[in-house]
Amino acid sequence: MRFPRHRTVSYAPSALVVATCLLAGAFLTPLVAQPATPRYEVKRATSAITIDGRLDEPTWTAASAPVTLQFLWDEQTGAKQQTRARVVWDDEALYIGYDADDADITAQYTERDDPTYRDDAVEIFINPRPDQTGVYYGFEWNARGVMYDYLNYNSRTLFKHFDARGVEVATALRGTLNERSDTDNGWSLEAKIPWANFETLSPRPPAAGTVWKANFNRWDGVAPDRRMSIWSDPQNETSWPHVPERFGELVFVE
């Protein structure tokens, strides 16, 4: 994601500054309660998954009903095209499946860690340790299946040197890529992320009952007619999805 420029000012707070802040806190207006974040049950895979992008295995049928991403920012001018996401797990990995309606499939970037979010792309942000919100993993794939992955610190700093190992990803297109003159139907994506990639925040794979936090997003369209859709509302006036406090829950079940 593109990040705005910002300036950091460092200083040693005096006793007067600290006291002033504490005093000001006594007069703050109580925060308005925010709506609840969504919850998704991640079922254990019932059969093997072939990573071919087609989402046609029995496991996907047996998974929890897909989440449907919502359109929150009406100032965007891109078409409102539906996206559905499902997740399952087994002893080896986390599996993510997306199905996206798309009348004009476009994806220009072809290399690992290219800015795939500028293409037709789907994303998942994953926080295996919900007791903290300072660090989480980002995985973004365009309609070609090209991956941009990173560790995100403090919602603003991307550690792009993080490269997930052993990730398998494939897409299946219901149309023609980068052919602007015809009408496409959509595309789907499957991804397999081995548990070892989460070991910094989760030394052991999840078990039934474990709760992680996550958000699903999609960027769609060709500039300037672009649109983002998202699962859990970040409560932002602009399309900024990097708000880990507002990620939804992934609850692992058998």
By the 10 Å C-beta count (0-12 exposed, 13-18 middle, 19+ buried), 4 is classed as: exposed
Res. 8 pLDDT band, cuts 50 70 90: very low
Report the mean per-residue pLDDT for the chain: 89
pLDDT mean over 171-176: 98
Q: Is the pLDDT of residue 14 over 60?
A: no
pLDDT value at position 227? 97
Q: Is the pLDDT of residue 100 over 60?
A: yes
Segment among 31-40, 188-197, 234-243 with least mean pLDDT: 31-40
Res. 164 pLDDT band, cuts 50 70 90: very high
pLDDT value at position 48? 95
* Distance from the Cα of residue 14 to its chain's centroid: 40
* Distance from the Cα of residue 185 to its chain's centroid: 23
Q: Is the pLDDT of residue 1 over 70?
A: no
pLDDT mean over 125-133: 97
Quote the radius of gyration of the chain (alpha carbons, Å).
Answer: 20
pLDDT mean over 114-137: 97
Q: How many CA atoms lie within 13 A of 246 on its CB side?
A: 16
pLDDT mean over 63-74: 97
pLDDT value at position 2? 42
**Which SS3 state, helix, strand or coil, does residue 86 take?**
strand
The pLDDT > 90 percentage for the chain reads 83
Nearest-angstrom CA–CA distance, 157 and 143: 25
Res. 32 pLDDT band, cuts 50 70 90: low
Nearest-angstrom CA–CA distance, 1 and 246: 17
Residue 46: other Cβ atoms inside 10 A: 15
- Could you tell me which residues are beta bridge partners of residue 248? 214
Q: Is the pLDDT of residue 217 over 80?
A: yes
Q: Which of 237 and 119 is assigned the larger pLDDT?
A: 119
In order of their start, the domains of the chain are 39-253 (2.60.40.1190)
Nearest-angstrom CA–CA distance, 151 and 52: 26
